[in-house]
Amino acid sequence: MDEWFTTDELPNGIDLHVMQTSKFKSNAITAVFYSDLTEDTVTPNAILPEVLTRGTRRWPRTAELMQNLDSLYGTGLSAVVGKMGEKHLLIFSVDVANDAYLSANEDLLSEGFAILRDVVFDPVLEGGAFRQDYVEQEKTNLRRRIESIIDNKLAYAFRRCNEEMFRGEPYAMHRLGRVEDIDGIGPESLRLWHRQAVTQLPLDIFVVGDVAREHVLELVGEVFDMKRDPMPFEVPAGAQHRVPAQPRSVVETMDVNQGNLVMGYSTGINIADLDYPALLMANGIYGAYTHSKLFQNVREGESLAYSVYSGIDQNKGVMHVWAGIAPDAMDRAVEIIEAQLDDVRSGRISDDEVEKTRRAIARDIRMMGDSPVAQIDYAIVSRINGVQETPDELLRRIESVSLDDVVRAANRIQLDTIYFLRDEEDNVGA
Amino acid sequence: MPRMEIARSELLKEEVATTRLDCGLEVCVQRKKGYAKKYGVFATRYGSLDTRFRRADTGEVLDVPDGLAHFLEHKLFEEESGSIDDVFAELGAYSNAFTDYTMTGYLFSCVDNFGPCLDTLLDFVMRPHFTEASVEKEKGIIEQEIKRNEDSPGWQAAYRMLKAMYKRFPVRVEVAGTVDSIRSIDPEILYTCYNTFYHPSNMTLFVVGDTAPDEVAERAAVALGARDYGPAPEVERLYPQEPREVGERRVEIRMPVSEPFVCFGFKDNDVGHEGARLLRKTVCMEMLLYTLIGRSSELYNELYEEGLLDHTFDWNFDCDKDYSFVVFEGKSNSPDALVDRVCQGIDDSLAAGIDRELFERARRSFTGSALRAFNSLEFIAYNFLDYHFRKMRLLDRVGVAESISLDEATDLGKRLFDPEMLVVSAVNPLQ
């Protein structure tokens, strides 16, 4: 992976990051606003992308806005809210076909930027506020989306584990916000927050495609010439999380066939920590892959689970282990899962495990170069955590992680919360 | 080795090179310059539908348990020395496998060590090793996989719709089988199915990535060359005769969900096609559905504004040589109203005649989206053989879209959206 982003700052404080590559048949554009994860803004943030993609001043009806995307050769448009550590992100993306492949008369790249600008900055308004019908419909839909997390039992178990583990901290909030705040949102208040957000929140624009940096700089300068008064970008300090002396254990029942076990661990290591490459290795040896200890022992050794993995949040010092198991197998599963981690902590790791993991992580990092979205995500995470390291540089650090480094990182991992969702048998707790 | 044949798409600026090795294996390679990742997919024309067949050499008709092809896929991953995942991990590669109605595929993706990965893929799939103990152990794992599916409302709705739509054709049976059906599986029946369906002449190797097609073919020839696979077994797949009508019009279950989830679809009895004809029908249907109820359609937006559907709403046209159906799915607070309105909206549009401008816009959208899809090696790796086994060319999707007329699409719609063929499957919340 040789290419990486080149950054320019526009007069109105927008940071433009461009990567030129001829690999793809389209140009990917992403605009990201960085908001803090707070009780006041989490729910308005969650609803904002939904309302903004309903209509713009130029294309007031949703069907018209979408038909315009059709005319521009199926230009992709997505607007989502993302949670990364204690940051809450508004992410707007457009993917336009490269005209070189089409007999298009339009300049698709310019049109792509224009759509992005319209959606973000120039919504359809009624008397200075958002359209009431759009806001009401999206409030209903947001409520339904939050309530439907329960329909995916694993996602629900994750959410519940997180709520228990981070009770009282901002990180306990779900990226989609809080049901109890939805009623209080109206067309005027949301529009006020929108104006404040798009003029004051730090904004990055990422572009990946067969485009020259100078050309993009000129285009973006023309299209995104609005006045802005952005706050400086601040890397969040990260709330201090206190691990309980005894791990919390929460068991809930529902009418399900399979038990979903999610265990939350505190690592205290995010991407900005010197031990991050060592933690990536520790997590790989422990549970990220099919060659990892968890898969080998919980699934292959004991046939306890179809899926069992561990994963780390690179923005927040957290690791999760999740397993789909028989409802009566919780104690046995927790015991084996913990035993595997103890093996990593005490260095009971073969050279084979270390090298397999190192190769797998190197592969995953190098594969990012094949996906514009993966590269933009990596750049956003780096940005949030104040890290300036290209994937190639991270790769070199992975190459030099030693067994001692792995053991040191693994010893920073502490079990915090065990959450188990199981069936409604009579013997619960027995 | 025979020369490789080249299929090219001028529009996509992509090409696929194909050849057949002496052992009977077909090799297809799509080179993607500049990509770091490489995929190898090795697949056989054998899926969950093939539970009853006759081999010409013995003349015997065999009935095997539901879920056997999927079980076999799991077990091929296991070697005497452990899981084949280990060997791929050693090479820094990722490996996986999948089973659907008509095929079983094994794949790896890697950045380095492509040659050894390819050798490993060809070697392990061609060398079965099934023991009593390992077969018994696998039952526990697959049981958890089946139970995980059973807790998914989307899976339940889709599976129950097909069970209601088809009276006899085995698309009504779940790919993994059931906890009961897999119980009787033993090494002997696994070997029988393996020997019937895993002959190189029934299989295709597909590679996508920045790698030279002739080198892939030569390496595959060397990897497979030393063995004698014997003559290709002649096998007749015995599918039951499916009556024209659907089994049940409406099915429903209750689950712990926040709101109803509905799957509804139309059975299509116009089967028996493959190749260019089936590709044309597929693309025609996709364009028609997009025009009628895509994100930009008036119908979709009307139903969205009324709260009858949300962004989980989706559709799919699933057609193979021996079965074909259209399916719509999504969350809805009022499934029956949603079904009525979608069907009514489609009927009205077809009766009144679709606006030519809308159709042209859908064509543009289809073209650009189909083009963009070729950015992704995953998309190509997972779809190429799915098309190829139906004698369709994935590369031709974009070109075919250019020649489809509005009349052709309208006629297809009028024939396919037959109210007699409609089946509704709802998952409702517990009371």
Q: Tokens for B357?
A: 């401008």
- CA angle, residues A82, A68, B313, in degrees to nearest 5: 55
Contacts of B215 (CB under 8 A, 6+ apart): none
The pLDDT assigned to A426 comes to 56
Q: Would you tell me how many other CB atoms lie within 10 Å of the CB of residue B228?
A: 5
DSSP state string for B233-282: PPEEE-PPPPPSS-S-SEEEEEES-SS-EEEEEEE-------HHHHHHHH
CB B4 within 8 A of CB B214: yes
CB B161 within 8 A of CB B425: yes
- pTM recorded for the entire structure: 0.94
Q: Which 3 state secondary structure label does DSSP give A172?
A: helix
- With b for 16 or more beta-carbon neighbours within 10 A and e for fewer, the B390-411 pattern comes to bebbbbbbbbbbeebebeebbe
CB contact under 8 A, B151 and A97: no
Contacts of A239 (CB under 8 A, 6+ apart): A86, A169, A170, A171
Q: Would you tell me how many other CB atoms lie within 10 Å of the CB of residue A215?
A: 12
Instruction: List residues bridging with A35 in a β-sheet.
Output: A88
> Given a cut of 80, is residue A106 above it in pLDDT?
no
Instruction: Give me the tens of pLDDT residue by residue for chain B, a chain 431 residues long.
Output: 668 999 999 989 999 999 999 999 999 999 999 999 999 999 999 999 999 999 888 899 999 999 999 999 999 988 777 778 889 999 999 999 999 999 999 999 999 999 999 999 999 999 999 999 989 988 988 988 888 888 899 999 999 999 999 999 999 999 999 999 999 999 999 999 999 999 999 999 999 999 999 999 999 999 998 788 988 889 999 999 999 999 999 999 999 999 999 999 999 999 999 999 999 999 999 999 999 999 999 999 999 999 999 999 999 999 999 999 999 999 999 999 999 999 999 999 999 999 999 999 999 999 999 999 999 999 999 999 999 999 999 999 999 999 999 999 999 999 999 999 999 999 999 97
- Mean pLDDT across A343-362: 97
- With b for 16 or more beta-carbon neighbours within 10 A and e for fewer, the B86-104 pattern comes to bbbbbbbbbbebbbebbbb
Measured in angstroms, the CA of B375 and the nearest CA of chain A are apart by 5
Contacts of B371 (CB under 8 A, 6+ apart): A25, A26, A73, A97, A101, A102, B11, B12, B398
> Given a cut of 80, is residue A238 above it in pLDDT?
no
Identical fold at B5-237 and B250-429?
Answer: yes
Q: Which 3 state secondary structure label does DSSP give B117?
A: helix
Question: What interhelical angle do B298-305 and A62-71 show, nearest 10?
Answer: 150
Q: Which 3 state secondary structure label does DSSP give B322?
A: coil
CB contact under 8 A, B36 and A23: no
Interatomic CA distance for residues B96 and B138, integer angstroms? 16
Q: Which 3 state secondary structure label does DSSP give B122?
A: helix
Q: Is A372 on the interface with B (CB under 8 A)?
A: yes
Q: What is the pLDDT of residues A57-75, one digit of tens each?
A: 999 999 999 999 999 999 9
Judging contacts by C-beta atoms under 8 Å, the chain B residues touching residue A131 are: none
Domain at B250-429: CATH code: 3.30.830.10
CB contact under 8 A, A73 and B364: yes
Interatomic CA distance for residues B224 and B122, integer angstroms? 7
Option in A25, A74, A291 nearest B85 (CB): A291
Residue of A nearest to B34 (CA): A23
> β-strands B5-9, B14-20: how paired?
antiparallel
Q: Tokens for A313?
A: 């949040």
Option in A300, A325, A369 nearest B36 (CB): A369
Q: What is the pLDDT of residues A280-326, one digit of tens each?
A: 999 999 999 999 999 999 887 777 777 899 999 999 999 999 999 98
Contacts of A88 (CB under 8 A, 6+ apart): A35, A36, A37, A38, A41, A42, A45, A81, A82, A175
Interatomic CA distance for residues B50 and A233, integer angstroms? 60
> Given a cut of 50, is residue A162 above it in pLDDT?
yes
What are the percentages of helix, strand and coil residues in chain A, rounded to 5?
A: 45, 20, 35
For tokens 């025009």, the residue is: B291
The pLDDT assigned to A240 comes to 78
What does pLDDT average to over chain A? 94
Helices (H), A91-225: 108-121, 132-147, 153-165, 179-182, 187-200, 213-223
Interatomic CA distance for residues B423 and B245, integer angstroms? 11
Interatomic CA distance for residues A137 and A149, integer angstroms? 19
Question: Where do the domains of chain B lie?
Answer: 5-237, 250-429
> Given a cut of 80, is residue A239 above it in pLDDT?
no
Measured in angstroms, the CA of A350 and the nearest CA of chain B are apart by 13
The upper half-sphere exposure of residue A167, i.e. CA atoms within 13 Å in the direction of its Cβ, equals 9
Q: Check residue A149 and report its DSSP letter.
A: G
Option in B142, B367, B430 nearest A255 (CB): B430
> Which domains are seen in chain A, by residue range?
6-223 (3.30.830.10), 248-422 (3.30.830.10)
The upper half-sphere exposure of residue A418, i.e. CA atoms within 13 Å in the direction of its Cβ, equals 16
Give chain A's radius of gyration (CA, Å).
Answer: 23
Torsion angle, CA of A258/A264/A269/A275, rounded to 10 degrees?
A: -60
CB contact under 8 A, A1 and B35: no
Which CATH number is correct for B5-237, 3.30.830.10, 3.30.70.20, 3.30.429.10, 3.40.50.300? 3.30.830.10
Q: Which residue, B126, B121, B120, B124, is CA-closest to B80?
A: B124
> Given a cut of 50, is residue A428 above it in pLDDT?
no
Measured in angstroms, the CA of B145 and the nearest CA of chain A are apart by 6
Q: Is A95 on the interface with B (CB under 8 A)?
A: yes
B228 alpha carbon, distance to own chain's centre = 31
CB contact under 8 A, A102 and B259: no
Residue of B nearest to A63 (CA): B296
Amino acid at A370: D
The pLDDT assigned to A303 comes to 76
Option in B148, B298, B367 nearest A63 (CB): B298
